[in-house]
Structure 1
Amino acid sequence: MISFALHNLRHRKASFAGAFLALLCAAALVCAFGTLLETGLRGTVSAARYAGTPVIVAGDQNVRETIRKSEDKVKVKAKPIAERAWIAAGLAGRLREVPGVTSVVTEVTFPAYLTGESSGTAAEPGASASQVSPPVPLLGHGWESAALTPFTLAEGRAPAADDEVVTDAATGLRVGSRVTIQSTATPRVYRVAGVTAQALENQPTIFFSTAEARRLAGRPGLVSAIGVFPATDVTAALKDASAPDPAAQAPAAMKGAVAVAYTGAARGPLEFLDADKSRIKLISLGGALGGTSLLVAIIVVVGTFALSIQQRLREIALLRAVAATPGQIRKMIGCEALLIGLPAGAAGALLGTGLALWLRARFVELGAMPVNLDLVVSPFPIIVAVLATVAAAWTAARVSARRTARVRPVEALGDAGPGPARLPVVRVLAGLGCVAGGVTLTIVLSTLSSEAASSPVTMLTALIWAVAVALLGPVVARILVAVPALLLRASGAGGYLAAANLLTGARRLASVIAPLTLMVTMTCTILFVQDTTGHAAAGQLRDGTRAAHVLGPRVPTTAVEAVRRAPGVTAVTEVLHTTVRIGLAKHGAQAVTPAGLGQTTDLGVSSGSIGLLAEDTVAVSEKLGFEVGDRIGLTLGDGTPASLKVVATYTRNLGFGDLTLARGLVAAHVDNPLSDTVLVAGSSAAGLAKALRNFPGIAVADRATVVAEREQAGAEINYVAMGLIIAFTAIAVVNTLAMATSDRAREFALLRLVGTTRRQVLRMLRLETLSVVAVSVLLGTAAALVTISAFSVGMTGSALPYVPPLTYALIVAGAVILAWAATGVPARFALRGRPADTIGARE
C-alpha cells in the first residue's frame, strides 16, 4: 500500500497540498505553545544584580498552607506573594558573626522615577493625561549595596549628602546634572554626584546615600535583602542565623518576614519578583492554547482529509472494482496520512520553534515576561508536535475513509455526485453527544465567576459547539440553505444554478461550512469575551465613580494634602491597588482612605455600611460568599497576615476589586506606597492644576478618560497568542474553499459546454459563496453568543454580552473576503482552458 500511497502523492499534489498545509500549521502551533509551557515549567530566571553575590538572605516570597489529607499525610502548598517581603536589618549583625563569612552587605530596593532634568524636561504640574510625558522607571538603592553587583564609578564620587545620587551608565546623565526624582515620597531635586561604569539590562539603577535610601524606602528597621560573601560553604550556619530571634523586642509590624538564604538559580526569581507570576502565566497559557490549537487542528485536518477523500470517490471505486479490499483502502489512505504527516509535522515543529521565539519577544515587549526568563528550547515540544500531528493525520484519514472504504464499487461510482441522503449513525450520535457536551459546559461556564477558572472552559465550550456543527454539518446545511436557495431561484441563470448546487451538494457544503463556522466562532469568542469583561468593568467604574476628577499616577501624600486645601474640594480619596490572598486564592484589592469615601465612590453596597471601614475591617464583593460580621484571615501583598472583620458587601467588584481595605493598613506592606489614583470631588481642573504646581508629572483627568482607559486595557497578551489560532483557522478556511473550488473544474466545463457563459458560472459561484458565508456566520455567531452569554452570566451577572457592532462587522467582512478570494481565484484558473480539454484531462 505504501507504493500506491506514494503514487497518489506524486500524481495528486494539489489535492494533498491542502492537508499538508493544515498539518504544517497545526504542528507549528503545538510546538510553539508547548515550548511556552516547558519554559513555564523548567525555565530559569538569570540573576543580574545578584549574579556576583554568592548568597542572598531575604524574606520568604511565598505564602504557605498546610493541608492534612490524613493522619500520616501532610502536604504544604505555596503560592508567591505580590510584593517584596522585607526582613529585619538587625539580622545582618548575626550573619557577620557566622564563621566563614567575610563580608555582609545590606540593601534596600524601592521604585523611583526620573521625571525630568533641570533643563526643563519635567512635565508641567497638573497637566492633562495626554500631556504628561512618561517618567523613566528606575530601581533605587543605597550606595552601600553597590558592592553586590559590583558597581564601580566611571566618573564622579559616591553620594555624600542626602540630595546627591549616582546613576548608572544607561541613563545618559552626566556628573553635575540636576534631576527630579519621584520615589515613594514627595518628588525632590537631586544632583548627580557620580556615574557608574556598569549598567544592567532592563534594570536602570539609581543610588542614593544610605540614610536617604532608608528614608525613601519607608521601612524603618527593615531591609529588602542582605548579601553574604562567605569564604567557605556556610549554608547550614546561615540557616540557623536566619531563624527568627525570639528575644527581638521590635514591634510586630517591624520584625519582618521569615528570612531565607537564596543561592544559585534561586537568586533570579528573588531579584525579579514577577518571574514566578510569568511562569505560571506561561504554564496556563501554553497548556490551554496548546490544547486548544490541537483540538482546532484535529477539526481542520479531519475536514481537509474528508474533502480530499470525497474528491477521490471514483478513483477509490475503481480500486474496489479491481478487487481491493476495504482494509487495503483504509491502509492506503492511512499510509498517505503518514507520508504527509511526518514531513509536515517536522517542518511545522521547526517553524514552531521560531514562532515561540517571536512570542517570547512580544511577551517581553508587553511586560508579561521578564527579559531574564530565557526560552527553554528542547526536543520535547518538537517530538510532541510531530507525534501529535502524525496521530491527528492518521486518525483523520482513517475516520474520513471509514465509510468510503466499505461502500460497494457500483455505489461508489454513483456516489461521486450529490452524496448520501443520510449521515452514518455513529456520526449522528457523536454530533448529538457534542451538543449535550456543549449544553453541559455552557451551564458550568455560567457558574464560574473568576477569569482564571472561566477562560479555559470558555474556549472549550466554543470548540465543542463548533465540533457539533462539523459533525452534523450535512443535516444543518440542508436545512439552512433552503431559504437562500428559494430566493436565488428567481435571480437569473446564475442564481438558479447556485440554488441547485446548494440543495443537492449538502456534503460538499458541510465540508466548507465547518471551517468557516469554526473561524467565526473562535474569533467572536476570543474578542468578545475580552470586550464583555472590559465593558462591564468600565461600566461599573463609571457608575461607581462619583468624583469629577482623577489624579495620577503615583501621587504622594503631600500632593494630596495640597489638593485637600484647594478651593471647592469637598472630598479626596486616595486609592492604592494591591493583591491579597485568602488562603491560597489570589484576589485584586483596593486600599482607600475611608474619610469621604461615600462622596467619591459608590461600590454598590448590598449589605452593611462602608462608613465602618477601618484598618481592622474590610468590605468584600458579595461573590466571595462572606457576610457582614464574618472574620476573614488574609495575607497582604508582602506576606503579612491580617484578620479583618467584614463590615460591608458590594456588587461592583469588576470595577473596584474583590476587596476594599483601609489605605493605612496596606501602605506599609507594598513596594510603592504612593497612591495609584486620587479621586477628587468638587473644585475644577484649573484649580487642581494650581494646587499641584509644585508636583511635576501628576495628571488631572476626568472620569470619562479614566473609564475609557480601563475599557481598553489588559487583553494584549491573549490577543497575541489567540490571534495565532484565529490565523490558523483563517488559513484552513482558504485551504478548504480553494480545494473544494478547484475540484469543480469539470463541473464548470460541463456547464460551459451546455451554453452557460463564463460570467454566469462566476456569478453562480459568488452567490453560492455568499450563501455559505451567511450560513457559517449564522452558526458561528450562535455558537459564540451562547458561549459568551454563559461567560457573561458568571462574570458580570448579566446574560447580555457586549458585542461592538464595528468589530462584528469587520469579522463578517473578513469572512466574506476570505471566502470570496478562496473561491474566486481558483475558479478563474479553472475556467481559463477550453471546456472539452478540461473534461478529457486526467486528474
Structure 2
Amino acid sequence: MLWVAWGQMRRRPAAFAGLAVAMFLAVATVTLFGSLIAAEVTAPASARQPEAGPGLMVIAGAFGEIAVLVAFFVVVNALGFALRQQHRELALLRTIAATPRQTRRMVRAQVVMTTVLVSVPGGAVGVVAAHRFLAALQRLGLAPGVRVPTTPVPVLAASAVALVVGLAASAVAARRVSRIAPAAALTASATEHGRAGVPRLLLGVAVLVGGGLLLRLAATRPAEESDKAGQASLLASLVLLVAVALLGPLVVRLLVGVLGAPVRRLAPGTGWLADAQLRGYARRLSSAVVPVALLVGLSGTMMIMTRTAGDTTGMTGSGVTSATDVWLRQAELVLLASFAAVSTLNTLVAATAERRREFALLRLVGATRPQLLRMLGAEAVLTTAVGVLLGALVAGAASAAFSTAVTGSPVPSVPVAACWYVVAGAAALTVPAVVVTGLRAVRGPAAELVSGDRD
C-alpha cells in the first residue's frame, strides 16, 4: 500500500498541494510558538520576569492556543478534499479486493509522507518566524535578554503533533469509503448524500451549545480581565465556526434558498442553474462556505474587539488596552487571516477542480463554455454571500460578548471601513479562484472527461 499511496500522490499532485500547504503552515506555527516557549524556559531567571507587559510564555500560549486550533482546522479541511479527489480510485481499490484496513493504511501513508516532506521547510520557516517575532517583542520592550535556543526540539515536536492530528483526521475522513461495500463505494464516489447524518447533527448542536457557553464566559469577565475576555471570545468564534461546519449542509441549503432568489431573477438561465447546483450539492457548498466564514468570522472578531478596547480606553482613560496589546492583536489578526485565506483558496480550488466530469456532462447536453463560466461566477457570488453572512453572525456574537465584558453594553465599536475590506478580500479570493479553476476544468474533450479517459 505504500507504493500505491505514493503513486496516487504523484498522479494527483494538485490534490495533495492543499494538504501539503496546510501541513506546512501547521508545522511552522507549532514550531514558532514552541520556539518561543523554549526561549522562555532556557532564559536566565533574571530575564524571565518582564518589567512591564505580559511574559513570553503568556504571549506564546495566548497566540498558540488559537492559531494552532485554526491550523489544524485547515489541515482537516484540506485532507478531506484530498480524499474526495481520489474517492473514485479508493472505491476501485475496494472493488478489486482491497480491505478497509488496507484502504485506511494507504490514507495514513499519504499523511505520513506529506508530513515528512513539509517538516524540514515548515520547521525552518517557524524558527525564522520565531526569531523575528521575538525581535519585534523586544523592540516593544518585552522579553529583554531572551533568545531563541538552537535546538531541534520545537521542530520535532511540531512535526509529531502535526502527524498525530493528520492521522486522526485521516481516520475520520477515510471512514466512509472504507466501511461501506465495494460496489456501494464506487457508486458513492459519483453521488452526494442529501442528508447529513444524525450523529453529525447532534454533534453540531453540542458544539453550538459549547460555543454559547464560551460566549457567556467571555461576557461575564470583569473589565480588568479584558485579555481573558478577548481570548474566550476568539475561542468561542472558532467553536461556533466548527458548529457551522458540522451543521453546514442544513444551514447553507436554507440560506441559498433565500439568497438565490435575486440571482435567479437577475440571470434566469445561468442563475437558476447555479442555484440548483448549490442546493443539490449542499455538502460540497458547505465545504466551500466554511473557509470564507472562517476568514470573515475570525478577522471581523479581532478587528471589532481591538476597536472596542481602544475606544473604551480613550473614553474612560483606564488601561483596558495599550499600544503593545494593539500590536499583539494585529499580529494575531494577520496570522489568523493568513490561515483562513490559505484554507479558502485550497478549498475553492479543490472543490471546483473535482467537478470536471460534471462540467463535461453539462457540455454534452448543450451548455457552452461561456455559460458554464457564468454559472460558476454566479455560484462564487452566492458562496461568498453565504460565507460572509455566516462569518458576520459569528463575529457579531463573539464581539458582543467581548463588548459586554469590557463596556457593559453588547453593542461593540465596529470599524465599518475595515470590515468592508474583509468582505472585499473574501470576494477577491473566492470569485477569481472559482472562475480561474473552472476555466481550466472545462478544457478538453467532454466525452473523454466523462468516460474517465482523461483527468
The verdict on a shared fold, with TM-score over 0.5 as the criterion, is yes
Q: Is the CA contact (8 Å cut-off) linking 1:317 and 1:408 kept in structure 2?
A: no
Equivalent residue for 2:161, pick from 388, 396, 400: 388
CA 1:35–1:276: 2 relative to 1, 3 Å? farther
Query: Which of structure 1's runs of 4+ aligned residues deviate more than 6 A?
Result: 710-713
| Aligned residue number for residue 551 of structure 1 | none
Deviations 1:564-607 (A, max 9, x none): xxxxxxxxxxxxxxxxxxxxxxxxxxxxxxxxxxxxxxxxxxxx
Relative distance call for 1:713 and 1:17 in structure 2 (3 A) is closer
Shift of 1:340: 1.2
Alignment match, 1:784: 395
Aligned position for 2:285: 509
- Cα offset for 1:506? 1.0
User: 5 Å matches for 1:396-545?
Assistant: 396-449=169-222, 450-490=225-265, 491-540=267-316
2:5 maps to 1:10: no
Q: Unpaired segments of 5 or more residues in structure 1? A: 45-264, 541-654, 659-709
CA deviations over 1:133-186 (Å, ceiling 9, x no partner) = xxxxxxxxxxxxxxxxxxxxxxxxxxxxxxxxxxxxxxxxxxxxxxxxxxxxxx
Q: Given the alignment, which residue of 780, 796, 801 partners 2:407? A: 796
Cα separation, 2, equivalents of 1:409 and 1:347: 39
Q: Which has the higher helix share?
A: 2
- Aligned twin of 2:79: 305
TM-score, L = length of structure 2: 0.93
Q: Which amino acid in the other structure matches residue 240 of structure 2?
A: W
Return the alpha-carbon distance in structure 1 between the equivalents of residues 120 and 67 of structure 2. 17
What are the within-5 Å matches in structure 2 for residues 571-610 of structure 1? none
Partner Cα distance (1:40, 1:711) in 2:
23
Name structure 2 gaps, 5 residues minimum: none
Cα distance in 2, alignment partners of residues 711 and 332 from structure 1: 51
Going from structure 1 to structure 2, the CA distance change for 1:743 and 1:763 (only over 3 Å counts) comes to: same
Judged with a 3 Å threshold, the aligned counterparts in structure 2 of structure 1 residues 711 and 444 are, in CA distance, closer, same or farther, namely closer
In the alignment, what sits opposite 1:320?
Answer: 94
- 2:35 corresponds in structure 1 to 35
**8 Å contact 2:400–2:410 — kept in the other structure?**
yes
Report the CA distance between 1:431 and its aligned residue.
Answer: 1.4
Amino acid in the other structure paired with 2:416:
P
The 1:793–1:750 alpha-carbon spacing in structure 2 relative to 1, beyond 3 Å, is same
Counterparts of 1:117-136 in structure 2 under 5 Å?
Answer: none
CA distance in 1, matches of 2:29, 2:141: 22
Alignment partners' CA distance in 1, 2:149 and 2:312: 38
Distance 1:500 1:329 in 2: 34
Tell me how large the CA RMSD over aligned residues is: 2.2
Q: Is the 8 A contact 2:313 2:319 kept in 1?
A: no
Distance 1:513 1:359 in 2: 32
Q: Give the superposition deviation at 1:433.
A: 1.6
2 CA distance for matches of 1:448 and 1:36? 28
**Counterpart Cα distance in 1 of 2:453 and 2:259:** 34
Whole-Å Cα distance in 1 between the matches of residues 418 and 227 of structure 2? 25
Is the 1:19–1:304 contact (alpha carbons within 8 Å) kept by the matching residues of 2?
yes
Query: Aligned partners of 1:393, 1:373: CA distance in 2, in Å?
Result: 33
1:52-91 map, 5 Å: none
| Paired residue type of 1:448 | R
Residue of structure 2 in register with 1:564 after alignment: none
Tell me how far 1:804 sits from its aligned partner. Answer: 1.4
Identify the residue that residue 766 of structure 1 maps to in structure 2. 377
- In structure 2, C-alpha distance between the alignment counterparts of 1:772 and 1:13, rounded to whole Å: 26
Counterpart of 1:715 in 2: which secondary structure? helix
CA contact (8 A) 1:529 1:788 kept: yes
Aligned to 1:288: 62
**One-letter identity of the residue aligned with 2:166:** A
Which string of whole-angstrom CA distances, capped at 9 and with x for unpartnered residues, describes residues 57-86 of structure 1? xxxxxxxxxxxxxxxxxxxxxxxxxxxxxx
Q: CA deviation at 1:711?
A: 9.6
How far apart, CA to CA, are the structure 2 residues paired with 1:773 and 1:281?
40
Residue 730 of structure 1, CA deviation: 0.7
Matched, 1:352 2:123: no
Aligned to 1:673: none
> Is residue 330 of structure 1 aligned with residue 330 of structure 2?
no
Whether the 8 Å CA contact 1:485–1:503 is kept in 2: the answer is no
Residue 788 of structure 1 aligns to a residue in which SS? helix
- 8 A contact 1:366–1:717 mirrored in 2: no
Change in CA separation of 1:775 and 1:418 when aligned onto 2, cut-off 3 Å: farther
What is aligned with 2:425? 814
Does the 8 Å CA contact 1:38/1:283 hold for their aligned counterparts?
Answer: no
Structure 2 residue aligned with 1:20: 20
Aligned-residue offset at 1:369? 4.2
* Structure 1 position 410, deviation (Å): 3.0
Equivalence for 1:571? none
Q: Does 1:828 align with 2:442?
A: no
Distance 2:56 2:322 in 1: 24
Q: Could you tell me the TM-score, scaled by structure 1's length?
A: 0.51
Matched position secondary structure for 1:472: helix
> What is the CA–CA distance in structure 1 between the aligned matches of 2:319 and 2:345, rounded to whole Å?
43
Q: Name the SS of the counterpart of 1:357 in structure 2.
A: helix
Residues 1:374 and 2:154 aligned together: no
Query: 1:633-657: CA deviations, max 9, x gaps?
Result: xxxxxxxxxxxxxxxxxxxxxx245
Structure-1 residue corresponding to 2:353: 742
Report if the CA contact (8 A) 2:15-2:350 is conserved: yes
Compared with structure 1, are the counterparts of its residues 829 and 800 closer, same or farther at alpha carbon in structure 2 (3 Å cutoff)?
same
Amino acid at match of 1:468: A
Give the Cα separation in 2 of the matches to 1:338 and 1:369: 36
Tell me by how many angstroms 1:276 deviates: 5.1
By how many angstroms is 1:386 displaced? Answer: 0.3
- Which residue does the alignment assign to 1:651? none
Amino acid at match of 2:383: V
Q: Deviations over 1:597-634 (max 9, x none)?
A: xxxxxxxxxxxxxxxxxxxxxxxxxxxxxxxxxxxxxx
Deviations 1:756-812 (A, max 9, x none): 222211111111111111111111111111111111111110110111111111110
Aligned residue type for 2:279: L
Q: How many residues align?
A: 451
Q: Could you say if the C-alpha distance between residues 488 and 721 of structure 1 is closer, same or farther in structure 2, counting changes exceeding 3 Å?
A: closer
SS at 2:269 equivalent = helix
Larger Rg: 1
Amino acid of the structure 1 residue aligned with 2:292 = L
CA pair 319-392 structure 1, distance change in 2 beyond 3 A: same
Shift of 1:714: 4.8
Deviation at residue 477 of structure 1 after TM alignment? 1.8
Going by fraction, where is strand more abundant, 1 or 2? 1
| SS of residue matched to 1:489 | helix
Does the 8 Å CA contact 1:515/1:729 hold for their aligned counterparts? yes
The residue identity in structure 2 corresponding to 1:6 is W
| 2:16 aligned counterpart, secondary structure | helix
Is contact 2:359-2:372 (8 Å) kept?
Answer: yes
Change (3 A) 1:713 1:31: closer
Look up the SS of the partner of 1:798 in the other structure: coil
Report the CA distance between 1:277 and its aligned residue: 4.3
Equivalent position amino acid for 1:761 in 2: L
Distance 1:712 1:376, change over 3 A: closer
